[in-house]
Amino acid sequence: MRSARLSVKLGITVTAMCAVLVLVMATFALASIWRQLDIQAKDGLEEKLSQVEHSLAEGSSSIADIVLHPHNLRDQIIGHDNLTLTIMDSSIPRKRLLRLGEGEGEGDEVEQPVPKINTSALEFKEINSAEGFETLMAYKLIRLKNDQQILVILTLDRRSDYTLLKAYVKSTLIALPLILLLVGGCAWWVVHRGLKPLRAFRRVAESISARDLSHRMKVQGLPEELSDLAHAVNFMLHRLDGDVQQLAQFSDDLAHELRSPMNNLMGTAQVTLSRERPPHEYKQVLESCTEELERLSRMVSQMLFLASVSQPSAPLTFSSVDLQDEAYKVSELFAIAAEEKKMSVEVSGEGKVLGDKLMIQRAISNLLSNAIRHGSPGSIVTLGLSTLADEVILAVSNVGEGIEAEHLPRLFDRFYRVHPSRSRQQGGAGLGLAIVRSIMSLHEGRVTARSELGRITTFSLIFPKAT
Ligand SMILES: Nc1ncnc2c1ncn2[C@@H]1O[C@H](COP(=O)(O)OP(=O)(O)O)[C@@H](O)[C@H]1O
Ligand SMILES: [Mg+2]
């Protein structure tokens, strides 16, 4: 099943959250409006009742007075449509003496619930009417000048408060779907817009192939989260591009390297076969072919070794290696080659590292063979060991014509030779230093080259110090 789009999911989630929020807020608002209206109603009744009390104290001295001259009291409630003033006898059973306001003039059948009350304190009572709204009553016992007691009841019809609340609820319910639609739409739009850069990612991904890795993400204008991602993607593409180019270059170089010896072999064979020859000539040709084939086979095994070092099939187990021991061993192997050029090899210093013994021997012998090959006849090649705070260095130095600075950075590339034709004659395929570099990176170290023209050339193997 295809999962829903992120923008739709987020739109729905935000809408649901907003719905809950609006409902909670509306409920709170409703409760506090109702409380406020309640307080207002009670305050209003209390004030009105004290005005009525005041007017009774001033104008009426007896019950008869009140019944005969109600206009004083009528003034008090005039203009308040929702107020009713009822005066009752204080004796029990209570009898209604007067009613002003709503329901005035109706007979006793308009039943007022008569409160049982004995103190002269103000009291409230809420009564729910049959129509569903509330009536609020405030009542108080009042003593007249002639010592007669009456019960004054003020009744407030709260129909208008109910109407107000109903209108509030209605408008909230009407506005809610509109608000939600708006919020959901906005959320969808914001997310949809926010994800626009991802579509650019997709376009770049679609246009990338092994043949064309040149596309890059535009980082400018992206939000921070995505610009980090774009940087990472661009960096990855950059690396892949470099690797792919290197690979292409490598196969190019390889074909090139193989072509000339093959052509040589083929040419020699064809020329030899073109006419009958005495046996010793065939022997000569076969010998020279064998030499060329040996060189080819050396190159192939070097390449296989390079591949195995660059991408080891199993994790290597390193052991402690005494570099001094290895330096002596390798220099013994090259003793004859050195002697042929009247050269000598000296080992000095000491150092121990963690590593693979055979590989380290191979790295040292690649450097030493170069040093002897390129060293001046009669000179000394030194293998100097030194142990620093966090590095162990093995430096192979020889005196000779040296290497021009422009070649130094590329010296460790596969098949790179300073003098290609001369080097080839000497049997070098330009893989020796590439192998050294791969071995060093396997040991988490590095190899550097330094050269003064006509003087000393030094290659240093730099190992991390064993801990
Ligand atoms: N000690 C040295 N003195 C001068 N040139 C050197 C020295 N070591 C290496 N080189 C140069 O570096 C190139 C690459 O060396 P290397 O990878 O060992 O290839 P190869 O020995 O097969 O030619 C050599 O062709 C040579 O020109
Ligand atoms: Mg070499």
User: Are 327 and 397 in contact, with CB atoms under 8 Å apart?
Assistant: no
* pLDDT value at 457 more than 90: yes
Same domain, 105 and 83: yes
Check: CB of residue 427 under 8 Å from CB of residue 330: no
**CATH for 129:** 3.30.450
Please give the single-letter amino acid code of residue 80.
H
Instruction: Tell me: pLDDT of 110 over 90.
Output: no
Structural domains counted in the chain: 3
Burial class (CB in 10 A: 0-12, 13-18, 19+), 399: buried
CA dihedral angle for residue 175, residue 178, residue 179, residue 182, rounded to 10 degrees: -160
Contacts with 143 (C-beta within 8 Å, 6 or more apart), sequence order: 120, 149
- Say whether both 249 and 341 belong to one domain: no
- Same domain for 324 and 228, yes or no, is no
DSSP states along 38-77: HHHHHHHHHHHHHHHHHHHHHH-SSHHHHHH-THHHHHHH
Please name the amino acid found at residue 64: A
Answer whether residue 249 shows pLDDT above 60. Answer: yes
| 426 and 388 Cβ atoms separated by less than 8 Å | no
Q: Residue 381: CB within 6 Å of ligand 1?
A: no
Nearest CA to ligand 1 atom 7: 370
Q: Which of 165, 188, 204 is the last residue of a domain?
A: 165
Give the range of the structural domain holding residue 287, as residue numbers without chain letter. Answer: 224-308
Which has the higher per-residue pLDDT, 308 or 114? 308
Pair 12, 158 in one domain: yes
Gap from CA of 338 to ligand 1 centroid (Å):
16
* Listed residues 165, 187, 202: the one ending a domain: 165
Query: Are residue 407 and residue 299 in the same domain, yes or no?
Result: no
Which atom of ligand 1 has the smallest separation from the CA of 396? Answer: 1
Q: In the predicted model, what is the mean pLDDT of residues 329-342?
A: 93
Q: Does the Cβ of 447 fall within 6 Å of ligand 1?
A: no
- 339 and 243 share one domain: no
Asked if residue 437 has its Cβ within 6 Å of ligand 1, the reply is: no
pLDDT digits (tens, 9 = 90+) for 212-247: 788 888 888 888 878 888 899 889 989 888 888 878
- Residue 28: inside a domain, yes or no? yes
Say whether pLDDT at 131 is over 90.
no
Pocket test residue of 398, 419, 433, 456 for ligand 1, highest count of atoms within 8 A of CB = 433
